[in-house]
Amino acid sequence: MLRQLTLAAAALALASPLVAQQRTTGGRELDWRGRIASGGTLRVFNTNGAIRVEPGDGDEASARSETSGSAEERERVILEVIEGGNGVTICARRENQRCTEEGVRSEGRNWNERERAGRALLTVRLPRGVDLRASSGNGAVTVTRAGADVNASSGNGDVQVLGAAGMVRASSGNGEVTVRDAGRGVTASSGNGRVTIATAEGPVKASSGNGAVDVTMRTLRGTEDMEFSSGNGRVTVRLPASFTGELDLSTGHGSAYSDFPVTVMGRLQPTRLRGRVGDGQGPTVRLRSGNGSVEVRKIEG
């Protein structure tokens, strides 16, 4: 049954900084609010179900759940909030799992598939200036207009980060990964799915085990090298027309192409292109594909 925070404890959580650790668990639904100071971290972990993260107001965070499945399956979903330290941890887990700041950890006996738990949709409001770590074992993760750094992942589901003021790390074991309008660098990967990044400035690193990689950077800052790769898919990178640096393109089966004039270094081959763009003073951009073409395109204007 749901064990709620007392009214006094809930009032204290809303009125004071997070110091002492507090906990609420349950088997039905979650409706939580609390304050997280700028520079803190909100961690959201879901064993089975989606996570949606939206911008919050001021320094107040909130989380609510919607569980689905049979009444028996829903009872096996444990919803938990841990407040303390430098932030808040929220988990939707099973009975044989433990909620920690590093994620949901299994303990005791292995999970019996005949005792299936329901799914939980977690909807979270994230205060500006608070870092986010959101992870689902089986479900989509969607983050909209985050005000700091984001680390978003799914074992089996699409991952989208649609606006972030800080650095973004996004990954999926089996699903598409999309990142747009990141304020700083981006690292994105998928074991099996397309990776699409459209960001105002680099550096960016992106990879897919089995899927296309498509990256657009309208501005580049710094000289950090960048890598883009796919085991089985086309790799396309769009760079500003002002780009100078080095290109290193190679493919096992496909073609290598650049819109930029390249001063070739070494031997020119249909499946390999390596050389300088402009004066060569800038980052090295590497594109690799085991089975697909690799292309560098120029953004005009």
Residue 149: the pLDDT is 97
Q: Is the separation of the CB atoms in 63 and 134 below 8 Å?
A: no
Q: Tell me: do 130 and 229 sit in the same domain.
A: no
Q: Tell me: do 163 and 69 sit in the same domain.
A: yes
Q: Tell me: do 65 and 129 sit in the same domain.
A: yes
107: in domain: yes
Q: Is the separation of the CB atoms in 74 and 68 below 8 Å?
A: yes
- Domain span at residue 269 reads 220-301
Q: What is the DSSP string of 264-295?
A: E-S--BTTEEEEEETT--S-EEEEEESSS-EE
298: in domain: yes
- Reading the chain (301 residues) residue by residue, the pLDDT tens digits are 333 332 223 333 333 333 335 555 444 689 999 999 999 999 999 999 999 999 998 889 999 999 998 888 888 899 999 998 789 999 999 888 999 999 999 876 555 554 577 899 999 999 999 999 999 999 999 999 999 999 999 999 999 999 999 999 999 999 999 999 998 899 999 999 999 999 877 799 999 999 999 999 988 887 899 999 999 999 999 999 999 999 999 999 999 999 999 999 888 788 999 999 999 999 999 999 999 999 999 998 6
Residue 267: the pLDDT is 80
| Number of other CB atoms surrounding residue 291 within 10 Å | 14
167: in domain: yes
Question: How many domains would you assign to the chain?
Answer: 2
4: in domain: no
Residue 111: the pLDDT is 52
Q: Tell me: do 225 and 173 sit in the same domain.
A: no
Q: Tell me: do 154 and 44 sit in the same domain.
A: yes
278: in domain: yes
Last residue of a domain, which of 184, 211, 244? Answer: 184
112 Cβ contact partners less than 8 Å away, ≥ 6 residues apart: none
- Look at the alpha carbons of 273, 230, 103, 124 in this order and tell me if their dihedral is positive or negative: positive
Q: Tell me: do 59 and 162 sit in the same domain.
A: yes
Residue 137: the pLDDT is 96
204: in domain: no
Alpha carbons 97 and 113: distance in angstroms, whole number: 15
Q: Tell me: do 240 and 125 sit in the same domain.
A: no
158: in domain: yes
201: in domain: no
Q: Tell me: do 75 and 123 sit in the same domain.
A: yes
* The model's pTM: 0.88
132 Cβ contact partners less than 8 Å away, ≥ 6 residues apart: 41, 42, 43, 44, 53, 126, 143, 146, 148, 149, 150, 151, 152
HSE of 127, CA atoms in CB hemisphere, 13 A: 19
